[in-house]
Structure 1
Amino acid sequence: MHSVGNAELLKLHKIAFLCSRRFPREAAERAYRWADEQREAGTCVISGYHSPVEKEVLCRLLQGAQPVIIAMARGLNRLAPEWEGAIDAGRLLVISRYAQSVSHPCESKCYQRNLLMADLADSIVIAHVASGGSLERLCMDYPDKIVLL
């Protein structure tokens, strides 16, 4: 595994957060309230922050001071400039199982990334699962860790 940031965050209690790319508005609203609660509680949240809801959750979490782990479905060759402050503060870790030469995520890489997060997390919070999607398959593989919002 490749990483940038504070690797000690992997030792913390972690909640993975996932949401399908297709989601109802109500699921997004629940996810944003949940993210605000986690920020206030100081919870370490791990996610790919790839879907629209996940991206907004990351924005909300980065406004706080709690630890955050970003799992990439590509190499770590390009990191968002807005992550630098959190990395420098020791509260952000960016991880990937892929070499820097892997520049684009695909469905297979995203699923593998989600499996990595599920293995690392103590529990998995899901805002919405689209029927027939890869997230539905992941839920069947980790039934004891899943919490639906």
Structure 2
Amino acid sequence: MRSVRRIQGDGNCLFRAFSYILTGSADQHIGVRHAIIDHMTNNAQYFRGHHLVGYGSIQSYIAFTGMDQDGTWGTDIEMLSLAHLFQTPVFSYSQQHGQWQRYSPHDVDRQLMDDIHQSSLKAVIFCLRGTGVSTIADLSEEGISLSGALAGGALKCFPQPLSPC
């Protein structure tokens, strides 16, 4: 079975996609954005160094980018924060570059643990596409292979392609 869900590309698309995955509705994106921002602020000690190059602190990052404002595009820092908040890996696929990026909940503290091979693994999967945001139930039907990101093991996932808004 294949299902496609378009997500509004209004600058909130990352948070709308997260909202859709978490609640079944993209309408809760403001609450999801605030939960992610609160998590980053309350766990600032984890979001240092390589995550905030050029910003210095999570507070500076939020202030400079306006990440707490409606309509501000989410970045890899927010994907990493979601992974940490829900203790589940987040994957993004760049159709343009043909490669996967993995955001592990363990990446925030640089303990790069390999939890890919666990049979109980759950993941949130996004695909960066030039044509808009959709939810695709079967990535193989879209010609997207997980083999570039996963070496083996069972994968239960919530597919959610994503493109920059």
Give me the TM-score of the superposition, normalised by structure 1.
0.31
Of structures 1 and 2, the one with the larger relative CO (CA 8 A, separation 6+) is: 1
Give me the TM-score of the superposition, normalised by structure 2.
0.29
Larger relative strand fraction: 1
- When Rg is computed on C-alpha atoms for both structures, the one with the higher figure is 2
